Structure 1
Amino acid sequence: FRAYYYVGIGLVEDPGPGFDGDKHKRKAQATANGSVNGGSMYSRAGRKQKFNVNGKVALDRNNYTGKDKEAGKSSKNKYRRLLDEIDVDEKWFPLLDYLGTFGLKDSHFIQMYSRHMPSLQINVTAAKERLDYLMSVGVKSKDIKKILMRQPQILQYTVESNLKSHVAFLVSLGIQDSRIGQIITATPSIFSYSVENSLKPTVRYLIEEVGIRESDLSKVVQLSPQILVQRIDNSWNARYRFLSKELGAPRDSIVKMVTKHPQLLHYSIEDGLLPRINFLRSIGMHNSDILKVSTSLTQVFSLSLEGNLKPKYLYLVNELQNEVKSLTKYPTYLSLSLDQRIRPRHKFLVALKKAPEGPFPLSSFVPNDESFCQQWAGTSVDKYLAFRQSFSAGSDLGSNQDCLETDAFLSIQMIQAGYKVIS
């Protein structure tokens, strides 16, 4: 009886010891993702090919120069590991060499082979034309590798019948030329969607069903290009129903949220929206307060509970002596860095004895450094930045050290920042 071996596409005769099962599986996977190269006894030029005793194509020695031999031997040595992992056609070597200039290595080629093997069969001249076009519309050379890892099929999309029409579509939405490359890098899969049958209907849905104004469309797409390639109807309806029921949010408010922060349509309801709503309730906010905050600062739904919202709340009530209701007036507070903005400015004004009695004004955290120094501190930006740097360095020693909250520590920071401290 003959033994048989399962390779993912069926039972085949057991090839015996030395058989590379993983390599065979990768080939099977590549077969599922695209036609495997080879199998024909004729070359692309139409001439019958010669085969050696192992069944592999034999080169015509009459047309194979010594230079060609050396080049072939060099490429084989260069891609020795790759040849051990997957079935590589020597005709792919020029393309692999070209893609290597963008930082792709054997491991990347193996991923491309598994995801979409036909992308490695592209003529190097055609591939260069397509990638050159992408770079001409703003894609950065350093991002080509990232794009190919996510969407290797892009090598197969022709410039005239695919790439140009999709870029023209983005331009028609009001996307500035300087942002086209960023959108392509963020969502290279856009080229696999039909402009007429998929992308334009999605845009119409955003305008007619969701209610996004046409003048805001380019901003929405730039903030979240993925909105063009997701099932927008399911995402919108689920989150609209949830926010309406949970917070009593009117449609206009939810549309404002999506316009300001379209990533809202990507956030999980159970793991993203609901836990943050419950946290805001737990610190004393009513649904109407949460609605005000989330409409003004929709990215509150993306902020970490443990690493962001909770520490800022504790600092708000314990150090700044503010009540929770102050967040409805200054929700921006929740989006600012505690270590780089909130704490240094607070401690700087305290050290200058310019912090007012009672609740610390959250409005002092809103302006940029220059305006803050002019309006609140009455100092130069350089002195504030020096204080912030020394303060941050001291804080890095340990946030639990009592000395960080003492007048002595603040005096040290002021001296280091160039101030004369009067006791």
Structure 2
Amino acid sequence: MCPEILTSPPSTTIIPATTFLLREARVKAADLRHVIHRRPRLLTRHVETELRPTLYFLQGTIGIDNVSKCAPLLSCSVESKFIPRIEYLQKLGFCYKDTVTMFRKFPSLFCYSIKENFEPKFDYFVVEMGRELKELVAFPQYFSFSLENRIKPRHRLCVEKGVCLALPTMLKSSETRFRDRLEVCCSSSMPVITSPLCCTNADIHDDNVT
């Protein structure tokens, strides 16, 4: 995964990087092996010029309190990885505050391709689903689901049933629970898509569906 480790000097690169992860990024000793296994490139990054600036950006600019939960991101470049994605979401119409909120809620957004992930999923969200941007601010995890295998099929089923579910309710549940939820909504005469009541606050904040 990262052949550069074989030529990285232990005393000037690997040991300082490991120490940084433990002391500054607050990665627990028990989790260190897992973090490095996921992103071995962390051990080849220089603390002063790469790891520490990225840590400060995630903490200060994005506002992530516990960076250890997304430690693999520390190997990424602020200039070439983070900022282009922030700027792209702003071009789509999100204000800066909402954009930062989305990345703070779901830091993994920084890892997604603009061309292969953001563009097709956002186009479908706006054109086919006709949803509002505020729903993505509330649930940026939308971009983590497969467009072809989950988003499109479930949205089409909702359209067929005349039901509009909040994004978490539509995407997070298993296939069985999703279909059960659709049946319940239909039998309960849930407002159809054209109704202003189709997406209630209770649905938007429904995090109990897994």
- Whether TM exceeds 0.5 here: the answer is yes
Does residue 325 of structure 1 match 2:140?
Answer: no
Q: Which residue of 1 aligns with 2:74?
A: 265
Greater relative CO (CA pairs within 8 A, separation 6+): 2
- TM-score in terms of structure 2 length: 0.70
Q: For 1:332 and 1:208, locate their aligned partners in 2 and report how far apart those are by CA, in whole Å.
A: 30
Does residue 277 of structure 1 match 2:92?
Answer: no
| Structure 1 letter corresponding to 2:69 | T
Post-superposition offset of 1:198: 5.2
Q: 1:207 to 1:288 in 2, by over 3 A?
A: farther
Q: Which residue of 2 aligns with 1:362?
A: 167
Post-superposition offset of 1:373: 2.7
| Structure 1 letter corresponding to 2:163 | A
Does residue 293 of structure 1 match 2:102?
Answer: yes
Post-superposition offset of 1:308: 2.0
Decide which structure has the larger Cα Rg and report it.
Answer: 1
Q: What's the RMSD between the two structures over aligned residues?
A: 3.0
SS in 2 for 1:284: coil
Of 313-322 and 323-332, deviating more is: 313-322
Instruction: Give the conservation status (yes or no) of the 8 Å contact 1:254–1:295.
Output: no
Q: How does 1:245-264 map to 2 (within 5 A)?
A: 248-250=61-63, 253=64, 255-256=66-67, 259-260=69-70, 262=72, 264=73
Q: For 1:377 and 1:233, locate their aligned partners in 2 and report how far apart those are by CA, in whole Å.
A: 56
Structure 1 residues 242-300: Cα deviation after superposition (integer angstroms, max 9, x where no partner) = 5577xx334xx1652x63251x3343434322221112112332333222221232232
Q: For 1:269 and 1:293, locate their aligned partners in 2 and report how far apart those are by CA, in whole Å.
A: 17
Q: For 2:58 and 2:10, locate their aligned partners in 1 and report how far apart those are by CA, in whole Å.
A: 31
Aligned residues: 183
Instruction: Give the conservation status (yes or no) of the 8 Å contact 1:292–1:328.
Output: yes
Instruction: Give the conservation status (yes or no) of the 8 Å contact 1:190–1:229.
Output: yes
Q: For 2:130 and 2:113, locate their aligned partners in 1 and report how far apart those are by CA, in whole Å.
A: 23
Q: Which residue of 2 aligns with 1:229?
A: 44
Q: For 1:305 and 1:187, locate their aligned partners in 2 and report how far apart those are by CA, in whole Å.
A: 24
Post-superposition offset of 1:346: 0.6
- Unaligned runs of at least 5 residues, structure 1: 1-185, 379-423
- Paired-residue identity, %: 26
Q: For 1:225 and 1:287, locate their aligned partners in 2 and report how far apart those are by CA, in whole Å.
A: 32
SS in 2 for 1:210: coil
Structure 1 residues 121-148: Cα deviation after superposition (integer angstroms, max 9, x where no partner) = xxxxxxxxxxxxxxxxxxxxxxxxxxxx
Q: For 2:43 and 2:92, locate their aligned partners in 1 and report how far apart those are by CA, in whole Å.
A: 37
